[in-house]
Amino acid sequence: MNNFINCNQDNKVFNGQEKQNKQYNQYIREFIEELQGKDYVCYNRTQDYKCSFWDSNQEKLVKATLQIIFTQQKNIKYLMDGQIIRIDKVINRLEVLKNLEQIKYLQWLGQYNQNQNKVAKWSAVWKGDQLLEVGGYYSEDGLKQGFWKELSRNYSNENQVYEWGEYINDLRNKQWKFIYDNKIIGGGVYNKQGQKIGKWVELDDEFQNQVTYSGEYMNGQKVGVWDILYKRMDQLERIGGGSYAYKKEGFDLNSKKVGIWIELTDGFSGKSQVIQFGEYKNGRKIGKWVIFWRKNQYQSFKQIGDGSYDDKPEYQDIRGIVQFCIGVNLVVVKKLVDGMHFFKMNKCIIQIQTFIIQKISNKNRGGGSYDDKPGNEIKFGNWIELSEGFQIDREVTYNGEYQNGRKVGKWDTFYQDEQIGGGSYDKEQRQDNVISSIKIGKWIELSDYFGGGGQIISKGEYQDGQKFGRWDIFYRRWRKDQFEEIGGGSYDYKEGEIALGSIKIGKWIELSPDFNSISQITFNGEYENGQKVGNWITLWRKNKYNRFKQIGGGSYDDNRIYGLLNQNKIGRWIELNDGYREGRRIKYEGDYKNGRKIGKWNTFFEKVLMQKQIIIDIQLKNENSGGGQYSENSLDFQGSIKIGKWIELKNKFGKGYGDQQVIFVGEYKNGKKVGTWNEMIRDQNKLQGEFKTIKEVQYDY
């Protein structure tokens, strides 16, 4: 069970002893990871971390900044850009979510015993709907037992990967399989201690990028050569990899990265293929690390970094060398040095790689240096860093200085070769060491979705590392265009039981995550202490040449739970599908009660034709319109339960390139599909045409 203590009391520590600065700072840096394994939890402490979510425009997993607050009332609060998006009560075991869609949409249904342990069967609920066969059983001691079907760490609408296998006393055991689209795509074996052993094929967090990692485990530790594989033109390509050294200490086996490595950056995808090339020493990056990029799988890698991407001869084409270095010519040589077993590439390959590093280190381009001192890897000096999801229409870099691993002074943000944003960091120094840094003063920041036809920036001020006062949002389609002010609102700095940090207050105009040149959606309403209250309206325009018009919205309750606003939707709502745009204009209309969908919900597909708007109510012979019924019985259940007959739309339902008009027709019983479900299709060019059955699927209750 977790005990909550006040981390803002400088004379207190997690175990009641005198606080050591080094231990404390390390704890804060590794806040999220460390909390889940400790008996003590800090309250009144805010920590930023990067969470993942699916960007429908980029068609990839991207990162966004989230804040986590643990309150004295044993609540865990998730905030994004000043908005509280989820509040969980911590019961017995602290579980922190790191995927934005899971934070918004994932709940677990089950029961607790008198000792507050999870017991019996637990099931997963996604967007209010129970997921078929996902979950398993807990013992009276709250331990997982038997066969479980679990969601992958970054499970989302577009990344529906499951993990299936057996638990014994909360430990994974024997064979576990990774399943995607009803196919086994990876996995391996656990020993009786719940440790991975033998050959494994593991999936990248963003599996839809078709990246897997192949290698061997020994007692839960990676050993030997690991290959990074990418499915390129329907063929597996070794695109990276390196070696792990291991040392046996008693019964423990510790492995660390060593030697030359080629790694993929976060956000690697078909549209953003960036790799890093450099050296590890005892698990730490050292020396010069260089960044390479290619447009797509059909191109060659070239060094990048200053926003200029051309085909001049001075760029070193390394595709062939990369292929050679990490291809079949990798050889394993095992030696014994001071009790350390290690694997390395053959001498010829290392010489080639060293030559490349020396050659391109003389160019002032992407990357920077790591300090070669004992301890953790530390960045120092001038760096040019790439944004998450760097690609052809999102060439964003950050230029500035590191001291002791902390950003200091002025940092500039570039889009291609245009300085488009930036600001300053203030540093706290103890003797000659920088121990922390925070944003101060005026900043221009790029949205997490900046790029392509959606170049969005925000302007405002930081106070003590927190957003404060008025922040305005600006948009332009392309670089040649002028920015127009299109949204914004105010932040307040709250400290105490309600919140700690920067939260939204008052009236706001917010942009949808996929706001771009062909679909521009805003949400207009009011915040109170970081939570939406009252009436919110949804506005849409096709592009900047059209006027905004209201197409949806509804109301939020302002009741209070645990002294916090309870952000629940109530009453009639009109909501839009993800990726709403011309040809995919889908609306859902129905009622909420205490944040839960109830009663009849209708689905509408809209299509603008001949300058006249025609609302087509999806119909199937004499059946009711698309959609279906939700139960109004909320006994011991916090989600929405589908019941009765339903007509559901397949992903990418619409009229346009890559779209299909496919529906699923069948029945739900207590949130689960039952009986025969028909998959039906019609010609997208014949909006009044009939749907024809193309497949039948049988579901057992």
Whether 512 contacts 499, CB under 8 Å: no
Q: How far is CA 477 from CA 407, 454, 511, in A?
A: 31, 6, 14
Mean of per-residue pLDDT scores for the chain: 76
Q: 327, 331, 342, 323: which is closest to 224 by C-alpha?
A: 342
Residue 241 has pLDDT above 90, yes or no: yes
- CA geometry: angle at 424 spanning 404 and 412, to 5°? 95
The most confident of 363-367, 462-466, 507-511, 630-634, by mean pLDDT: 507-511
pLDDT at position 249: 66
pLDDT at position 431: 63
Average the pLDDT over 263-270 and give the result: 79
pLDDT at position 379: 80
DSSP code string of 339-364: TEEE----HHHHHHHHHHHHHHHTS-
* Digit-coded pLDDT (tens) for 658-691: 788 899 999 988 777 889 999 999 887 776 678 8
Tokens representing 478?
Answer: 């392309």
* Digit-coded pLDDT (tens) for 306-359: 322 233 333 333 333 333 343 332 322 222 233 333 333 333 333 333 333 333
Whether 144 contacts 137, CB under 8 Å: yes
Question: Three-state DSSP class for 673?
Answer: strand
Whether 618 contacts 693, CB under 8 Å: no
* Digit-coded pLDDT (tens) for 20-44: 344 434 433 444 444 444 444 555 5
DSSP code string of 581-598: -TT-EEEEEEEEETTEEE
Q: Band of the pLDDT at 593, cuts 50, 70, 90?
A: confident
**How far is residue 262's CA from residue 275's CA, in Å, rounded to a whole number?**
7
pLDDT at position 59: 62
* Digit-coded pLDDT (tens) for 612-638: 344 444 444 433 457 888 888 754 344
Q: 683, 682, 687: which is closest to 665 by C-alpha?
A: 682
Q: How far separated are the first and last CA of the chain, in Å rounded?
A: 36
Give domain limits for the chain. 1-99, 104-152+160-195, 210-394
Q: Which helix (H) or strand (E) holds 28?
A: helix 21-29
Residue 513 has pLDDT above 70, yes or no: yes
Question: Is-above-0.75 flag for pTM?
Answer: no
Whether 448 contacts 460, CB under 8 Å: no
The pLDDT > 90 percentage for the chain reads 31
Q: 42, 104, 108: which is closest to 79 by C-alpha?
A: 104
Q: How far is CA 45 from CA 38, 79, 86, 600, in A?
A: 16, 13, 17, 42
- CA geometry: angle at 540 spanning 538 and 543, to 5°? 155
pLDDT at position 310: 30
